C-alpha cells in the first residue's frame, strides 16, 4: 500500500524516509510491532494527504483488523517482562567485568541501554533486563507448610548492593520505579 501511495513521486519517498528517521531518532522502539504500527499510521496519513481516499479507507480497515487480531491473540508479543536497571558506576572501574558474572547468574537477558555522565568521576548506566523466573520452595516447619519465594531479582539486587562503589541502584518496572 505504501508503494501505491508513493508511486514514482520522489518528494513523497523522501517525506516518508524523513518522517521515519525523526520518529526513530526521538524514540527508542523496543518491539518490531511498534515499527509496524508507525508504518501503518504514516501510510494512512499519506494516503489521505495525497487524496487516495479509497486506499486510505481500505488500509484503515485491514490495518485495524490486523491490530485487533494481534491484540486478541497476543501474536508477536515476547511474553517476557522487561525492566530497566539503573545504577551509578565510577568511571575508573570496568562495569562489564564487575557486573557480567552477576547478570549471567540472575538474568535471562540483559543489554545496555545507555551510559550518561553524571560528573567527571561517575557514570549512570542503564540496562534492559529480564529476570529469571521465581522458584517456590516448600518447607515444613513444626507441622505447618509454608511457601517461600526465592526470586532472582532480590538476589541480584542484594549482590549488586554489596559492591561498595555502586550507588543509586534503581529498578524501573513498567511505570513503577523502585530505588534501592
Q: How many whole angstroms separate alpha carbon 100 and alpha carbon 119?
A: 24
150 has pLDDT over 50: no
108 close to 130: Cβ distance less than 8 angstroms: yes
pLDDT at 139: 46
SS3 54: helix
pTM of the full structure: 0.49
> Using CA atoms, how far apart are residues 114 and 125, in angstroms rounded to an integer?
6
C-beta separation of 16 from 42 below 8 A? yes
Please state, in angstroms and rounded to a whole number, the distance separating the CA atoms of residues 122 and 91: 5
Region 143-152: mean pLDDT is 49
- Cα–Cα distance between 180 and 170 in angstroms, integer? 6
If we measure between CA atoms, which residue out of 90, 91, 84 comes closest to residue 111? Answer: 84
Q: Where are the domains of the chain?
A: 2-73, 83-179
- Mean pLDDT, rounded, of the chain: 79
pLDDT, residue 76, reads 65
> Residue 43: which of 30, 33, 32, 57 has the closest Cα?
57
In CATH terms, the fold of domain 83-179 is Alpha-Beta Plaits (3.30.70)
pLDDT of residue 149: 41
Amino acid at each position: 500500500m505504501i508503494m501505491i501511495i508513493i508511486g514514482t513521486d520522489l518528494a513523497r519517498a523522501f517525506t516518508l524516509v524523513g518522517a521515519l528517521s525523526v520518529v526513530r531518532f526521538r524514540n527508542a522502539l523496543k518491539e518490531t510491532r511498534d515499527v509496524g504500527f508507525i508504518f501503518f499510521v504514516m501510510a494512512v496519513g499519506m494516503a489521505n494527504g495525497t487524496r487516495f481516499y479509497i486506499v486510505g479507507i481500505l488500509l484503515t480497515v485491514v490495518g485495524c483488523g490486523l491490530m485487533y487480531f494481534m491484540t486478541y491473540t497476543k501474536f508477536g508479543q515476547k511474553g517476557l517482562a522487561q525492566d530497566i536497571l539503573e545504577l551509578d558506576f565510577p568511571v575508573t572501574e570496568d562495569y562489564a567485568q564487575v557486573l557480567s558474572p552477576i547478570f549471567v547468574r540472575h538474568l535471562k537477558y540483559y543489554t545496555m541501554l545507555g551510559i550518561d555522565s553524571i560528573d567527571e568521576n561517575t557514570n549512570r548506566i542503564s540496562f534492559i533486563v529480564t529476570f529469571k523466573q521465581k522458584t517456590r520452595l516448600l518447607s515444613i516447619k513444626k507441622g505447618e507448610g509454608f511457601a517461600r519465594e526465592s526470586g532472582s531479582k532480590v538476589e541480584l539486587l542484594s549482590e549488586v548492593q554489596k559492591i561498595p562503589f555502586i550507588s543509586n541502584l534503581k529498578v524501573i518496572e513498567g511505570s513503577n520505579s523502585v530505588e534501592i
